Structures are given as structure tokens and as C-alpha cells.
């Protein structure tokens, strides 16, 4: 037998079998695709096969977001990290009054604040304080929510029950870590501490309010300051937290950089709206945050209420802001303009101090002389003093509101344990 001839015959037979088999497999796969058995072609490859693309994971977090601060923003950042899209429910004024007492900032302002947070994808207005069966079904069915998120601090209804018990029973609840060193309760205390012009008849109640709102676990008096001086948070700023809040990118080579500076104390809706307008004037918005010493020198010894790092984080969380200068100088110098390649310097019409052009030392003298300074009409007549006056005008109502809150916060700090994540 000619082994070489036989070997060629077997090889040819094997090749023919492979071709026929490949054709049959191809026809079979085509039939499966066309019959709808295999996934369609607009899917992602995985291990040589294809699978149907998953929809984004949607998470929900609700809250009052009254006097919104960097703690709220950090909670929203953590919630967003647990999914692909964050839906935020803002509790209505009526619900807050019924469950906690009057809010400091009305719903309209609270919505502006929440919508401005860069980790928020969608907002539900007039959310209920407690998640009922009906509302939870609406979240799952209409809003396609996968998980409901809340911090590790307890949220108790007036009847003593857990506001998130239904979500927990449904297995659709996730917990995040509460941000240390700040709460709306403590901020109210700081505001009251900065108010000195009180009548003799009010002095006792005023001192009582200070004790109610500031329990001492998250504040202390600055070294060398008097007992009545502005207290500061025990919040310890870290480089990691700043990175978490930062966009992490700089301006492009030909970007038009807009600069606005200020204290941005008690970051509020007025701040957000002027930043929104400023951002529209360029490609990159740089915000200068004045030091605590500068703010005290220009606005009084009891300011700022929030310290430099707290104020910086609040501004960084705003979606209209690209970058901040932590501890910006009072005067906008030629060196500052050159260093940051600033194209335009802006200032709002509503501010705590708008007499800068009458002063001997105008902080905007250089950009004015360069023709790159512009006054912006502020959309809202709100300042830090506006917020403080709201508290003082309704101090009795806020005292009642915070008595229960103060007790729950005290228990939280006494019973708290380590929670992973941040």
C-alpha cells in the first residue's frame, strides 16, 4: 500500500468533514439567532458568547436636606457609588413640619441645592418622610429603583418605628456611613453662637438654645478664643476626601476660565445660582474660598460658621464648579490671574459685603484695570445672614424641633460602632 497516497486521502476526508460540520454549525446558529433563541446582536461579548446588556442599577436616597452641607453631599456621593444612577427624594415642607418641625430652608431652595449636587441624576419632589408600601411600590415599579439607601444613623418616626423597615424587609436596603463632625443640628448651634445682640429677657433662652443645639461632642472652642466665640467642627479633612469631591481634571489648553471668590459660608441656594450663571460665561469655573481669618476680618469675629475645609467641600460638590482654591487671597492679584490663566473675574450683586469699590483697597482693582471684571445680577436675594435671621426669628420652634433630635444624636454617638466605607 502507498502510505503517502493513503495519508493524503485521509487528510482530504478530514478537511471535508470539518467544512461540512462548520457549515452545519453556522446554519444552526443562524437558525437560533433568527428564531430568537440566542440574544440579539446588540449585546456585549463575554467568553466568546453574547449576553443581553444589563440596565443601569438605580438607587434611591431621600431626606429633608435642610441647610444642606457637605455631610449631605458626602451621603449622596456614597449612595451614587452603590449604583449607576442616583434618584433623590426631597421631603416636602408639610411632611417635615409634621414629623420634625419647621424647616429652615423652604422646599424650593432645598430642590435647588439637591439638583446642584454633581452625584445626583434625578430628583423626586415632595417625597414622603416615611416610605410606605404604596410609595415603595412606586419606587420599584415606576422609577425602577433597585435599592433604597440611608446612613447608619437611625431614622425614627414619631411613633418610634424605623422609617426604612419596609425596605429592609423587602431586602432592598443598603446602608452607608454617616459623615462625622457635622449635622444640621450642630450648624443651628453655630449660628446661634454667632448672634450677640440679644435682649436681657432673651438671654436665658438663648443660652438654653445653644446648649440644645451644640452638645459638645462635635465642637470645641478655638484655642485662645472666648467661650462665646465661633465653634469649629471636629471634622478632620483628609486629602482622600478632597480627592473624592474633586472632579480630578483641569481646564483644556484653550479654555476660557472664569473666577469667582467669596466665603461661601453656609452654602445656600443663592450661592448655587450665582455659580450657575458664572459657569455659563466660560468653559471652566474656578472658585476661590477665602480663609477663616479673612472672613473673620471682613464679616466679624463670629464668622465664618463653617470652617475653610467644610466650605471648600460644599463648593466642590456643586456640579457647576470645576475647581477651588482652598484659602484664596482677598485681593485678586495679577499673579493669581496669570498663574491660573483666568479670562474673567465675576462678582454677584447680592453679597454680605458689596462696598468693595468704595474701599481704599479694592480687591478687584487689578481685574478691573485689565478689563476682565464683570458684575453678575444675583438671581436670589439670599445671604448667610438671611439664613441666620430665619433661625433667630423662629428660635422657639427650632428649640422644640431639636430637643428630640439632640437626644437621638447623643444616643447615636454613645452607641455607634465602626462602619466600613466612606
On whether both 274 and 354 belong to a single domain, the answer is: yes
What is the number of structural domains in the chain? 4
46 and 63 in a single domain? The answer is: no
Q: Are residues 333 and 244 in the same domain?
A: yes
Do 206 and 151 reside in the same domain of the chain?
no
Question: Using CA atoms in the order 399, 400, 402, 406, what is the torsion angle rounded to 10 degrees?
Answer: 110
Last residue of a domain, one of 153, 176, 199: 176
Q: Are 130 and 80 members of one domain?
A: yes
- Is residue 421 a part of any domain in this protein? no
HSE-CB at 131 with a 13 A cutoff on CA atoms is: 27
Does 420 reside within a domain? no
Please tell me the predicted confidence (pLDDT) of residue 162. Answer: 84
Q: Residue 402 falls within a domain, yes or no?
A: yes
Place of cell 454617616: 178
76 and 113 assigned to the same domain: yes
Is residue 382 reached through a cis peptide bond, with omega within 30 degrees of 0 on the bond before it? Answer: no
DSSP 230: P
- The residues with which 117 forms a beta bridge, in sequence order, are 318
Q: Considering 130, 155, 176, which residue would you say is the last residue of a domain?
A: 176
Q: How would you classify the pairing of strands 284-290 and 257-262?
A: parallel
pLDDT digit of tens for each residue in the chain (422 aa)?
A: 454 555 556 555 655 554 445 444 443 444 443 444 334 333 334 344 334 548 999 999 999 999 999 999 999 999 999 999 999 999 999 999 888 888 899 999 999 999 999 999 999 998 999 899 999 999 999 999 999 999 887 777 777 788 899 999 999 999 998 887 677 777 877 776 666 434 333 444 444 444 433 333 333 333 333 333 344 455 667 889 999 999 989 999 999 999 999 999 999 999 999 999 999 999 999 999 999 999 999 888 888 999 999 999 999 999 999 999 999 999 999 999 999 999 999 999 998 877 776 667 899 999 999 999 999 999 999 999 999 888 888 766 665 655 555 555 555 445 556 556 66
Q: Are strands 44-46 and 219-221 parallel, antiparallel or unpaired?
A: unpaired
* pLDDT for 235: 63
Same domain for 244 and 364? yes
pLDDT at 218 (0 to 100)? 37
pLDDT of residue 159: 77
Q: Quote the pLDDT of residue 234.
A: 57
- Let me know whether 366 and 250 are in one domain: yes
pLDDT score, position 16: 52
Give the per-residue pLDDT at 404. 53
Residue 108: all three cell numbers together: 424650593
CA 266 to the chain's CA centroid = 14
Using the Cα atoms of residue 233, residue 236, residue 238 and residue 241 in order, give the sign of their dihedral: negative
The answer to whether residue 347 is domain-embedded is yes
Q: The domain that contains 254 carries what CATH number?
A: 3.40.50.620
Question: Domain of 21?
Answer: 3-51
What pLDDT score was predicted for residue 154? Answer: 72
In a domain, 225, yes or no: yes
Task: Name the pTM for this structure.
Answer: 0.76
Helical pair 395-415 and 184-193, crossing angle rounded to 10 deg: 130
Q: Are residues 134 and 84 in the same domain?
A: yes
Q: Are residues 264 and 374 in the same domain?
A: yes
Residue 226 grid cell: 472666648
Position 212 in a domain = yes
Q: Are residues 317 and 410 in the same domain?
A: no
The verdict on 378 and 246 lying in the same domain is: yes
Amino acid at each position: 500500500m502507498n502510505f503517502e497516497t493513503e495519508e493524503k486521502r485521509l487528510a482530504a476526508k478530514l478537511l471535508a468533514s470539518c467544512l461540512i460540520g462548520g457549515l452545519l454549525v453556522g446554519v444552526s446558529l443562524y437558525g437560533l439567532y433568527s428564531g430568537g433563541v440566542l440574544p440579539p446582536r446588540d449585546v456585549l461579548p463575554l467568553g466568546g458568547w453574547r449576553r443581553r446588556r444589563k440596565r443601569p442599577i438605580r438607587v434611591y436616597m431621600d431626606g429633608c436636606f435642610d441647610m444642606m452641607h457637605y455631610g449631605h453631599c458626602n451621603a449622596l456621593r456614597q449612595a451614587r457609588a452603590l449604583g449607576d444612577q442616583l434618584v433623590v427624594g426631597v421631603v416636602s415642607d408639610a411632611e417635615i413640619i409634621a414629623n420634625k418641625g419647621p424647616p429652615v430652608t423652604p422646599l424650593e431652595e432645598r430642590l435647588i441645592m439637591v439638583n446642584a449636587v454633581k452625584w445626583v441624576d434625578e430628583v423626586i419632589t415632595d417625597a414622603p418622610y416615611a416610605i410606605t408600601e404604596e410609595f415603595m411600590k412606586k419606587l420599584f415599579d415606576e422609577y425602577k429603583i433597585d435599592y433604597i439607601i440611608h446612613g447608619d444613623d437611625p431614622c425614627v418616626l414619631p411613633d418610634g418605628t424605623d422609617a426604612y423597615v419596609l425596605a429592609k424587609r423587602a431586602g432592598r436596603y443598603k446602608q452607608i456611613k454617616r459623615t462625622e463632625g457635622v449635622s444640621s443640628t450642630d450648624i443651628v448651634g453655630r449660628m446661634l453662637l454667632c448672634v450677640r445682640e440679644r435682649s436681657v429677657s432673651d438671654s436665658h433662652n438663648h443660652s438654653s438654645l445653644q446648649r440644645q443645639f451644640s452638645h459638645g461632642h462635635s465642637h470645641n472652642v478655638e484655642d485662645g478664643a472666648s467661650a462665646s466665640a465661633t465653634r469649629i467642627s471636629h471634622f478632620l479633612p483628609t486629602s482622600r476626601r478632597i480627592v473624592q469631591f474633586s472632579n480630578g481634571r483641569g481646564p483644556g489648553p484653550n479654555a476660557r476660565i472664569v473666577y469667582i471668590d467669596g466665603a461661601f459660608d453656609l452654602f445656600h441656594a443663592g450661592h448655587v445660582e450665582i455659580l450657575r450663571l458664572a459657569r455659563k460665561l466660560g468653559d471652566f469655573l474656578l472658585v476661590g474660598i477665602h480663609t477663616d481669618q479673612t472672613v473673620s476680618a471682613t464679616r466679624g469675629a463670629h464668622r465664618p460658621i463653617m470652617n475653610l475645609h467644610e466650605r471648600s467641600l460644599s463648593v466642590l460638590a456643586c456640579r457647576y464648579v470645576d475647581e477651588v482654591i482652598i484659602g484664596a487671597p482677598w485681593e485678586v492679584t495679577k499673579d493669581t490671574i496669570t498663574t491660573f490663566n483666568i479670562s474673567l473675574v465675576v462678582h454677584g450683586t447680592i453679597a454680605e459685603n458689596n462696598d468693595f469699590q468704595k474701599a481704599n483697597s479694592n480687591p478687584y482693582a487689578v481685574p478691573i484695570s485689565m478689563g476682565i471684571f464683570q458684575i453678575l445680577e444675583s438671581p436670589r436675594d439670599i445671604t448667610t445672614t438671611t439664613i441666620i435671621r430665619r433661625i433667630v426669628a423662629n428660635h422657639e420652634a427650632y428649640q422644640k424641633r431639636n430637643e428630640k433630635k439632640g437626644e437621638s444624636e447623643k444616643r447615636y454617638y454613645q452607641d455607634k460602632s465602626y462602619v466600613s466605607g466612606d
